[in-house]
Amino acid sequence: MKVAGKAYRSIWLNDDGWRVDIIDQTRLPHEFEIVTLKTLEDAARAIEIMQVRGAPLIGATAAYGICLALRRDPSDEALEAADARLRRTRPTAINLMWALDEMLATVRNLPRDDRLAAAYKRAGDLCDADVETNAAIGRNGLKLIEDIAAGKPGETVHILTHCNAGWIATVDWGTALAPIYMAHDKGIPVHVWADETRPRNQGAALTAWELGSHGVPHTIVVDNAGGHLMQKGQVDLVITGTDRTASNGDVCNKIGTYLKALAAQDNDIPFYVALPHSTIDWSVADGVADIPIEERDGDEVTHLSGRADDGSIVKIQVSAPGSGAGNPAFDVTPARLVTGLITERGVCEASTEGLLSLYPERKT
Ligand code: MRU
């Protein structure tokens, strides 16, 4: 997607052909800063401190993290250590484990001298495939928006989203936002309610920035506004992303998604979740019970960062000193609250049967 008229992906190889460039998402929307990753540790830290975030982009960064590690040392021991280091960075987004599995399967059985080139090739292919996959998700989700638009000719379709599942959460296009970009580009009048998404404000800082850069009308709302907007008939559709989808259709996404799904059901509003195949964890049969939820630093709850009037980026404390804070970063929305899953292969029911109808090769 474009930033100030220039096309970007969220991660790309530097002109030198080996270092890896990313957009530092901790600086957005105030500063557009490109950071260059040179080592395995750079890649691991970028994921941990959320310079990169969003399930597919976490996976892509980990893939390049393996490349950077192999550049220093292509031995089995170094490969295993790199894999273990990256796997520890963030526990919930399954794309991380998926991408690492793909990288290991590619290089593990190769002679040491062949590993580096094969790793860079595979990481690049994973990134290209992510872009294609998300474009397909966009086309499949577009039909849902077109149907709603057809039912209210000349009127705007209002879509609520939570967190950021846009192009900077993936390599390009995004998952939840891909259908919205496509609808907008096709001339369908769309408007997005962007939940601010406390504690890290990915909605206010990233989703709104992305949509604004592309010219998509949007409004930031506090996380607690969604139910009210739905009650008042101001939301036609909810689309979110997911960090891990269980084989029964339960979806794990940014904390607060579950509450939106409950409100959507109470108000008869379709609640869709957009995801690539790499976000499905076929080994988890019950998402509510078995998806590990990342617990992050309470500091993210007690403090806020943003731009002060003098232009400087500052961090402020919003709580009384000494108050403890809990910070579960994700929650799981049970499949029964999900109207459908938008994948690169089509839209299906959020259930084992629904997923298997699109991914029959997973039938045992
Ligand atoms: O903690 P984050 O910012 O990595 O969480 C991101 C989300 O919850 C997204 O909705 C999810 O990864 C889907 S991204 C296409």
Please check whether residues 64 and 121 belong to one and the same domain: yes
Please check whether residues 26 and 102 belong to one and the same domain: yes
Please check whether residues 125 and 248 belong to one and the same domain: no
pLDDT tens, position by position, 259-311? 999 999 999 999 999 999 999 999 999 999 999 999 999 999 999 999 999 99
Give me the catalytic one of 130, 236, 243, 331.
243
Residue 364 is predicted with a pLDDT of 85
Task: Say yes or no to pLDDT of 342 above 90.
Answer: yes
Domain C-terminal end among 104, 129, 154: 129
Domain C-terminal end among 86, 108, 129: 129
Ligand 1 within 6 A of 214 CB? no
Please check whether residues 113 and 165 belong to one and the same domain: no
Please check whether residues 96 and 154 belong to one and the same domain: no
Ligand 1 within 6 A of 202 CB? yes
Q: Is the peptide bond prior to 29 cis by the omega test (within 30 degrees of 0)?
A: yes
**HSE-CB of 52 using CA atoms within 13 angstroms:** 36
Ligand 1 within 6 A of 340 CB? no
Question: Please, which pLDDT band fits residue 239 given cuts at 50, 70 and 90?
Answer: very high
- What is the total count of domains within the chain? 2
Helix (H) or strand (E) holding 244: strand 244-246
pLDDT tens, position by position, 122-154? 999 999 999 999 999 999 999 999 999 999 999
Domain C-terminal end among 95, 129, 163: 129
CA of residue 225 to ligand 1 center, whole Å? 20
**Residue for token pair 């084989």:** 247
CA of residue 278 to ligand 1 center, whole Å? 14
Tokens standing for residue 325: 């804070």
* CATH assignment at residue 305: 3.40.50.10470
Whether 147 is catalytic is no
d(CA 58, CA 330): 15
Please check whether residues 91 and 155 belong to one and the same domain: no
Which DSSP letter does residue 336 get? G
Residue 70 is predicted with a pLDDT of 98
pLDDT tens, position by position, 60-80? 999 999 999 999 999 999 999
pLDDT tens, position by position, 75-122? 999 999 999 999 999 999 999 999 999 999 999 999 999 999 999 999
d(CA 7, CA 9): 7
Residue 1 is predicted with a pLDDT of 86
Task: Say yes or no to pLDDT of 2 above 90.
Answer: no
Please check whether residues 144 and 94 belong to one and the same domain: no
Identity of the amino acid at 347? V
Residue 352, exposed/middle/buried by CB under 10 A (0-12, 13-18, 19+)?
A: middle
CA of residue 211 to ligand 1 center, whole Å? 16
- In sequence order, which residues have a C-beta less than 8 Å from that of residue 213 and are 6 or more positions away? 1, 2, 3, 4
| CA 274 to ligand 1: nearest atom | 15
Q: Which of 38, 245, 8, 6 is nearest to 137 (CA)?
A: 245
For ligand 1, atom 5, name the residue with the nearest CA: 54
Ligand 1 within 6 A of 55 CB? yes
d(CA 294, CA 209): 25
d(CA 80, CA 104): 9
* CATH assignment at residue 102: 1.20.120.420
Question: Please, which pLDDT band fits residue 10 given cuts at 50, 70 and 90?
Answer: very high
Helix, coil or strand: residue 47: helix
Please check whether residues 111 and 254 belong to one and the same domain: no
Please check whether residues 287 and 181 belong to one and the same domain: yes
Ligand 1 within 6 A of 254 CB? yes
CA of residue 124 to ligand 1 center, whole Å? 21
Residue 131 is predicted with a pLDDT of 98
254, 279, 330: which to mutate for ligand 1, most atoms within 8 A of CB? Answer: 254
Please check whether residues 334 and 188 belong to one and the same domain: yes
Please check whether residues 98 and 198 belong to one and the same domain: no
Please check whether residues 249 and 343 belong to one and the same domain: yes
pLDDT tens, position by position, 179-231? 999 999 999 999 999 999 999 999 999 999 999 999 999 999 999 999 999 99
Residue 267 is predicted with a pLDDT of 98
Helix, coil or strand: residue 228: helix
d(CA 300, CA 291): 22
Helix, coil or strand: residue 219: strand
Residue 282's domain comprises 137-362
Ligand 1 within 6 A of 329 CB? yes
